[in-house]
């Protein structure tokens, strides 16, 4: 483990943010009125201080704040962005890097061939520098972000157009699993358990506590794991394995956003956790 290489959580909620766009909730209205971003959209930063490079996993609409925090810690310009999938909350922040924003250049965007085709259409709407490079990656193939840090894309089931990846970020034996969006864990549980045993921390989609949260939409149309069910499904894991698992991508309705809730207490009693904005994992 070296303090020269690390991942940093830069957001923990789902694509609509928190306060959530359009929310009439009293507390969230208070955040809006006081111009407070209580929690930013899910994102992970990766830093190599030796090579002076930094990366984001996903370009969220909160990218200006996330990039500012990443730059503060890394002291380096953004070297690249790994895209998990093409839902708006994960690529919508790319516009901030256009000529009307940061006018950033000489960086890479990593994702699958299908995803890059979609991302290029998005980028065509805006003006970008021409020296932005797209690196096509394949499921299961290891690729180098720097000479010290590798990444591997793992395909997971999800409803997005194109592919949905989680990433395993590594230096030597130290590894971070980052899987902010997926459908039911049952569809890829074997891969999940294998990766969980390999990594030091596993950030997993925890959008909903249970299926009762959405009364305005058919929850089957927005499939994600239910944390309450996962606690039961994974009860036979060792305490060591459970402590690796931290939930991320929480919906505005998820009671885990309230650390005083009975649901949060139940989660902690069962040795699982919730990701926190700003937490570091050294690689």
* pLDDT one-digit tens code per residue, 157-181: 887 789 999 999 999 889 999 999 9
What pLDDT shows up at residue 122? Answer: 86
User: Which pLDDT value is given to residue 221?
Assistant: 53
Q: How many CB atoms within 10 Å of residue 240? A: 9
CA neighbours closer than 13 Å in the CB half-sphere of residue 178: 28
d(CA 116, CA 111): 6
Predicted pLDDT at 33: 96
Smallest CA-to-CA distance from 59 within 23, 5, 31, 101 is with 101
First-last CA distance in the chain: 5
**What is the pLDDT, as a whole number, of residue 17?**
96
What pLDDT was estimated at residue 145?
A: 98
Mean pLDDT of successive 10-residue stretches along the chain, which has 283 residues: 93 96 94 96 97 97 98 93 96 94 94 96 86 94 97 90 96 96 90 97 95 68 81 97 98 96 98 98 96
**Measuring CA to CA, how many Å separate 38 from each of 92, 111, 261, 273?**
19, 29, 17, 19
Model pTM score: 0.95
pLDDT given for residue 212 in this prediction? 80
**Cβ contact 52:25 at 8 Å:** no
Question: What's the confidence (pLDDT) of residue 18?
Answer: 96
Residue 160 pLDDT: 73
What pLDDT is stored for residue 91 in this prediction? Answer: 97
pLDDT of 222 reads 60
Rounded CA separation 62/43 (Å): 9
Compute the distance between CA of residue 265 and CA of residue 260 in angstroms, rounded to an integer. Answer: 7
CB 76 within 8 A of CB 98: no
Find, among 170, 135, 168, the residue nearest to 149 by Cα: 170
């Amino acid at each position: 483990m070296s303090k020269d290489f690390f991942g940093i959580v830069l957001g923990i909620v789902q694509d609509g943010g928190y306060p959530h766009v359009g929310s009439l909730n009293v507390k969230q209205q208070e955040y809006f009125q006081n111009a407070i971003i209580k929690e930013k959209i899910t994102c992970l930063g990766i830093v190599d201080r030796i090579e002076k490079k930094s990366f984001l996993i996903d370009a969220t609409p909160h990218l200006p704040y996330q990039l500012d925090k990443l730059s503060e810690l890394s002291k380096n310009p953004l070297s690249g962005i790994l895209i998990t999938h093409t839902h708006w909350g994960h690529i919508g922040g790319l516009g901030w890097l256009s000529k009307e924003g940061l006018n950033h250049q000489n960086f890479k965007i990593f994702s699958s061939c299908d995803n890059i085709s979609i991302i290029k259409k998005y980028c065509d709407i805006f003006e970008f520098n021409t020296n932005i490079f797209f690196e096509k990656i394949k499921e299961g193939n290891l690729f180098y972000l720097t000479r010290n840090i590798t990444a591997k894309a793992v395909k997971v089931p999800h409803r997005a157009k194109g592919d949905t990846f989680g990433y395993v970020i590594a230096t030597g034996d130290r590894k971070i699993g980052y899987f902010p969006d997926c459908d039911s864990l049952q569809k890829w549980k074997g891969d999940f358990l294998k990766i969980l045993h390999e990594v030091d921390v596993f950030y997993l989609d925890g959008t909903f506590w249970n299926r009762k949260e959405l009364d305005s939409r058919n929850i089957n149309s927005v499939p994600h794991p239910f944390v309450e069910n996962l606690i039961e499904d994974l009860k036979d894991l060792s305490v060591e394995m459970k402590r690796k698992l931290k939930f991320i991508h929480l919906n505005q309705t998820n009671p885990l956003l309230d650390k005083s809730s009975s649901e949060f207490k139940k989660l902690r009693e069962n040795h699982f956790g919730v990701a926190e904005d700003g937490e570091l994992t050294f690689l």
